[in-house]
Chains A and B, each alone.
Chain A
Amino acid sequence: MKEEFKPPKGKIIKVCGKCISLVGDDIDTDRIIPARFLKCVDFESLGDAVFEDDRKDLMGKHPFDLKSNRNAVILLVNSNFGCGSSREHAPQALMRWGIKAIIGESFAEIFYSNCIAIGIPCFTLAKKDIKPLQVRADTGNLFFDIDIKNVIAIEGSTKHKLQLKESSKNMFLTGEWDATSTLLSNIKLIESKMDNLPYINLNN
């Protein structure tokens, strides 16, 4: 098993490490973490169960089972990754397995916002650019130093330009992705909003 899991904290400015490729469009959160693993009151044990059914099906040949991928931290995926159920258990399971950033053609909306909320940056890259990287991650060792401020993945002397929403980028660079304290800093505005919404009074 890997080293002890430590959740990210504060500013996230870079993610460095080995890439792991998972090929497929529309990989939904039921596949990332089947519903039976949602019967828990914490997220601690989810890392081992990530892609459980797909992994069983491939009998040791799933990318998440290959020895060569054991220390991977950057996941390369295709289109509409994380669609379906809003279960945060999906990015939590990926994170607890070791994933710290994801690069993909596109992401489902709720999955993307869950990733931000737990500190996993999700970058996008065009299909034509992702495919060769996935092949290289599968056939050899691909290491990236991702610089979040400049939104680039550095591979030795090569720089791959990635895409990241400006607001997401700012949240990682400032630590605002861990949103609770930022939200609570506007407590007076929240209280005044609550007092002024038409339906709050009509329903009393």
Chain B
Amino acid sequence: MSQNTLFDKVWDLHKVADLPGGSSQVFIGLHLIHEVTSPQAFGALKDKNLKVKFPSRTIATVDHIVPTDNQSRPFKDNLAEQMIEALEKNCKKHKIKFFNIGSGSQGIVHVVAPELGLTQPGMTIACGDSHTSTHGAFGSIAFGIGTSQVRDVLASQTLAMNKLKVRQIWCKNKLSDGVFAKDLVLHIINKLGVKAGVGYAYEFSGPAIHLLSMEERMTICNMSIEGGARCGYINPDKITFNYIKERQFAPKNENWLKAVTWWKSLASEKDAIYDDVVSIDASKVEPTVTWGITPGQSIGVSQKIPKLKELSEDDQFIAGEAYEYMGLNPGQAIKNTPIDVCFIGSCTNGRISDLRVAAKIVQNHKVSPNVKAFVVPGSEKVAKAAIEEGLDKIFKEAGFQWREPGCSMCLAMNPDKLTGNQVSASSSNRNFKGRQGSPSGRTLLMSPAMVAAAAIEGKVSDVREFIKK
């Protein structure tokens, strides 16, 4: 059993009680809610005649269902309008702070909370969304929950849970030029598998991780869940503290120094004991692209789609399903695969640094005539910063559509969807069958820089050659 890791320290600090059944009751320091997974939870509170215990510990925004072309109210989609109205009503009734459209702080919940300084080291953070693992980038213990658990957090600020084991993923050396956090995390998921993380928290550490910016770290932790780990985290360091400093909800004045002292004490000790340790050589990672229907089915851009016999017995069934669904052949190169739609955005890669990298690639180029390309900033703050830097102009001049913030085509709950069996190059996190809104739509996951390159070439391209041009 793990000892002296950040996970152990934060878990112990938040444990309220041992429950009779054998699980633990854990306090949730920050609860984030959005329109999709909260209405039934508020409904259950009403049915049980319960109140929100600590309304100040819950923060709301709206992201999944918002249209990205025209956000004027009421939304054209009546169901979407009903959902935002339910959230507005519930927040008002229970006195929950809500960052609505037009507030200047609305956006994808996992982009919004860090940029407001709400996400801090040492917290437990829960949200009815699997990508809550994103917040682990700050050295918090953050994980997705379902709606019944949202109800429990609203009612009691606690959850019944079993302690996770801890696997350290040591990333040695550093990423090469043209290779990004997204490539590293796709590579890790490919090496360990999509279910290896079940029962574990992932601690990402080593030199390759601590060289990354906070936004890159968020990309890594965001995709922990795609490797099966409900929770992934990175020990906080100077880069973490500098990011948080002076943000709206960051500790201020004398509390800042106290907070930093406390945050420093949270990192895993040198003599920490892990349940498992694996090592990844970051210098060996190429720009990485998925070819299948799980985020683990990826290869370097110069590689060929694996043949059945090259895969482990366990991976063969889903690989067979993937060849058929994707219309790609084993042994075929992934490079030059034609692309119909390019999507830059999502809680994985919709932050300002992602847009900067992509804009640098597209500057002075044109989107291929066969491609529909669009950029969806992760939040109103990201959009504002991008416009101030002129990134929106660069994208628009190249032929990208520039949209309003939201989750958009990552999961296609709004009008942004693939049609028929279109192939998308997407900076999002899931390539599941039908994920991007068409039951036969196909998704290739990659970094925003690789999506930008694919948009220009109209096919999967190696962004490293692009940087040389």
Contact = CB atoms under 8 A, between A and B. Distances in A.
Contacts of B79: 39-40
B174 interface: no
A183 B156 contact: yes
A190 B27 contact: yes
A186 B130 contact: no
B17 A186 contact: yes
Given A31-B432, A183-B158, A197-B29, A26 B199 contact: no
Nearest to B30: A199
A109 B157 contact: no
A187 B294 CA distance: 42
Contacts of B13: 197
Nearest to A169: B21
Given A35-B412, A39-B65, A83-B194, A184 B149 contact: no
Given A85-B411, A110-B146, A117-B148, A30 B130 contact: no
A5 interface: no
Interface string A36-61: 10111111000000000110110000
Contacts of B37: 86-88
Contacts of B206: none
Interface stretch (B46-54, B274-282, B379-387, B449-457): B46-54
Nearest to A40: B79
Interface size class of B (residues with CB under 8 A): 35 or more
B40 A42 contact: yes
A41 B82 contact: yes
Contact of B19 (A31, A36, A182): A182
A157 interface: no
Contacts of A114: 146-149
B128 interface: yes
B326 interface: no
A115 B29 CA distance: 24
A165 B412 CA distance: 35
B22 interface: yes
A177 to B, nearest CB: 8
A184 B156 CA distance: 6
Contacts of B430: 28, 30, 84-85
Contact of B228 (A40, A57, A83): A83
Contacts of A118: 146, 148
A110 B155 contact: no
Interface in B182-221: 194-195, 197-199
B438 to A, nearest CB: 9
A24 B321 contact: yes
B314 interface: yes
Given A35-B412, A80-B194, A198-B122, A183 B14 contact: no
Contacts of B251: 199, 202-203
A135 interface: no
B18 to A, nearest CB: 10
Contact of A190 (B86, B157, B258, B262): B157
B445 interface: no
A133 B54 CA distance: 48
A199 B23 contact: no
B432 A79 contact: no
Nearest to B148: A117
A2 interface: no
Contacts of B466: none
Interface in A162-199: 165-167, 170-171, 174, 176, 179-180, 182-184, 186-187, 189-190, 193-194, 197-199
Contacts of B65: 39
B434 A53 contact: yes
Secondary structure of the A contact surface, majority rule:
helix
Nearest to A112: B198
B146 A26 contact: no
A108 B199 CA distance: 9
A170 B18 CA distance: 13
A40 B53 CA distance: 25
Contacts of B36: 38, 87
A34 interface: yes
B196 to A, nearest CB: 10
A190 B82 contact: no
A42 B17 CA distance: 32
Contact of A53 (B152, B155, B433): B433
B148 A88 contact: yes
A199 B16 contact: no
Contact of A36 (B122, B151, B228, B413): B413
A61 B437 CA distance: 23
A134 interface: no
B23 A167 contact: yes
The 10 A-B residue pairs with the shortest CB-CB distance in the complex, in nearest-first order:
A88-B146, A114-B146, A170-B21, A117-B148, A167-B22, A86-B144, A53-B439, A41-B39, A39-B79, A86-B130
Interface of A: 24-26, 28, 30-31, 34-36, 38-43, 53-54, 56-57, 78-80, 83-89, 91, 106-110, 113-114, 117-118, 165-167, 170-171, 174, 176, 179-180, 182-184, 186-187, 189-190, 193-194, 197-203
Given A79-B314, A182-B19, A184-B155, 15 more contacts: A24-B318, A30-B435, A31-B434, A39-B77, A42-B39, A54-B433, A80-B195, A84-B432, A106-B198, A107-B198, A110-B144, A117-B149, A118-B146, A190-B157, A203-B251
5 contacts: A41-B40, A113-B146, A186-B16, A186-B17, A189-B17
Interface of B: 13-14, 16-17, 19-23, 25, 27, 29, 36-37, 39-40, 43, 48, 50, 53-54, 64-65, 77, 79-80, 82-83, 86, 120, 122-123, 128-130, 132, 143-149, 151-152, 155-162, 194-195, 197-199, 225, 228-230, 249, 251, 255, 258-259, 262, 293-294, 314, 317-318, 321, 411-413, 430, 432-435, 437, 439
